[in-house]
Amino acid sequence: MRGLPLHAGARRLDDDCAVLEFGSETLILNHDTMAEGTHFRADADMADVAWKLVASNLSDLAAKGAEPIGVLLGHCLGDGDEQFLNGLSEALHTFNTRLLGGDTVKAPGANVVGLTAIGRATHTPVPSRCGAQIGDEVYVTGTLGGAMLGFEGASEHLGAFHRPNARLAEGRALAPVVTAMMDVSDGLLLDAFRLAEASGVSIALEGEAVPVASTERRADALRWGDDYELLFTMPVGKNPPVDAAKIGEVLSKGFAPLTLDGHPLVNAQGLGFEHR
């Protein structure tokens, strides 16, 4: 896709959202697609699929400190349509956003849904993955690994997998003070690796400092996705305005974009969920 003609607002496709200046406003746009067999099981409750589709898109807006305006839906008609609409309604009400329109299509054999989320920036410059500075401290909100345990059937963590939160309020509070920010959707290690590469730095993480839902599964929790927490960097000595754990620091660029407990990770392969 990088070979296609890109708008300046695409940020060279190094970010999860497009950022467009429009009159006195800065608009934030994101699009995510979910497919049966890749993102959800064939027997999944389509209400939960709809919820996660909304939450995952709004999580990207949260990482930009954006306030949602509305969403556009692309939906393949099929089994579970009523449940899907119920889950969509619940998510839109919960996250205080509205449906702007979209399209439906009949496509036998395919169960694919997509959503475009549109928001307005609450602070400029809009945070990106590219701004981490040498000497910054690295933080993450919330607890990681709950979605993994919910996927595996742990009853107390089912909500983390089926109905994740989007950290919209936290993103708005953080936008004026972070140097870089993104959401953790594909696994902490992979997303930290991406943030380091985009910023041209190295990130050193302390595994034991990362809040996880199960200490016995810490290594897995660092690689599992679907947590939708916020990963961000801030200048040393400044305290985040939200609850977050300090998990590492930003160093000058070395041969490894990421180190975990002093061990260099030079390749993104195997660090988390990749879409190819």
Taking only the tens of pLDDT, the chain with its 276 residues reads 666 766 666 666 677 899 999 888 999 999 999 988 888 888 899 999 999 999 999 999 999 999 999 999 999 888 889 999 999 999 999 999 999 999 988 877 778 899 999 999 999 999 999 999 999 999 999 999 999 999 999 999 999 999 999 999 999 999 999 999 999 999 999 999 999 999 999 999 999 999 999 999 999 999 998 999 999 999 999 999 999 999 999 999 999 999 999 999 998 888 887 654
CATH 3.90.650.10 fits 137-265, yes or no: yes
Residues of the chain with CATH 3.90.650.10: 137-265
Q: What gap in Å lies between CA 178 and CA 183, rounded to an integer?
A: 13
Name the DSSP class of 91: H
- The DSSP H or E segment spanning 221 is helix 218-221
Superfamily of the domain at 8-121: PurM-like, N-terminal domain (3.30.1330.10)
Name the DSSP class of 146: H
Strand order in 25-35's β-sheet? 18-22, 25-35, 112-121, 66-77, 99-106
Q: What gap in Å lies between CA 96 and CA 73, rounded to an integer?
A: 16
Residues of the chain with CATH 3.30.1330.10: 8-121
Strand 99-106 relative to strand 25-35, pairing: unpaired
Tokens of 65: 């400190």
